């Protein structure tokens, strides 16, 4: 009979000279994805490099600066005049200005629609309505 290298069948009772197999730890409830994400996202209390409002503001300022730089380049490259007609108004304006006005108007319409939807959902939550 050869050496079994410590491998025993856990279903068989231990023979003389063998140790019983180590007990496995008790089963734990599996963590949900949200708990795992929360643990990964929450910085430790003593972490000096954790995010803060100031760091978030700094990132926003840098991002805004980059957007403004791209906007300046866009305006500088699109200076040719175009004819614009809107609700009886006629005129000429640089192409970049016309496109920026159209984009701003579209963003405004989307913001109004989003705000109305948020108000609607908040009202439903306060009322407790499942609709």
CB 99 within 8 A of CB 90: no
Q: Which domain holds residue 85?
A: 55-127
Two structure tokens written together for 2: 């050869």
**Residue 92 is assigned to a structural domain of this protein:** yes
**Residue 13 is assigned to a structural domain of this protein:** no
Band of the pLDDT at 116, cuts 50, 70, 90? very high
**Residue 80 is assigned to a structural domain of this protein:** yes
pLDDT at 98 over 70: yes
Which residues in 114-126 are b (16+ Cβ under 10 Å) and which e?
A: eeeeeeeeeeeee
> What is the number of structural domains in the chain?
1
> Helix or strand or coil: residue 10?
coil
Cross-strand pairs, 115: none
Round the CA-based radius of gyration of the chain to a whole number and report it: 33
**Residue 40 is assigned to a structural domain of this protein:** no
**Residue 29 is assigned to a structural domain of this protein:** no
**pTM exceeds 0.85, yes or no:** no
* Whole-number pLDDT of residue 41: 57
* Whole-number pLDDT of residue 58: 83
**Residue 64 is assigned to a structural domain of this protein:** yes
Contacts of 14 (CB under 8 A, 6+ apart): 8, 20, 21
């Amino acid at each position: 009979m050869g050496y079994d290298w410590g491998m025993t069948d856990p279903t068989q009772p231990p023979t003389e000279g063998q140790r019983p197999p180590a007990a496995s730890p008790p089963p734990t409830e599996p963590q949900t994805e949200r708990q795992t994400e929360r643990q990964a996202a929450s910085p430790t209390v003593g972490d000096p490099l954790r995010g803060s409002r100031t760091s978030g503001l700094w990132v926003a300022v840098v991002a805004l600066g980059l957007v403004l730089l791209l906007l300046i380049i866009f305006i500088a490259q699109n200076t040719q005049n175009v004819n614009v007609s809107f609700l009886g108004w006629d005129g000429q304006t640089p192409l970049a200005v016309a496109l920026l006005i159209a984009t701003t108007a579209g963003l405004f319409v989307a913001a109004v629609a989003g705000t109305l939807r948020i108000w609607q959902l908040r009202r439903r939550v306060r009322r407790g309505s499942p609709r």
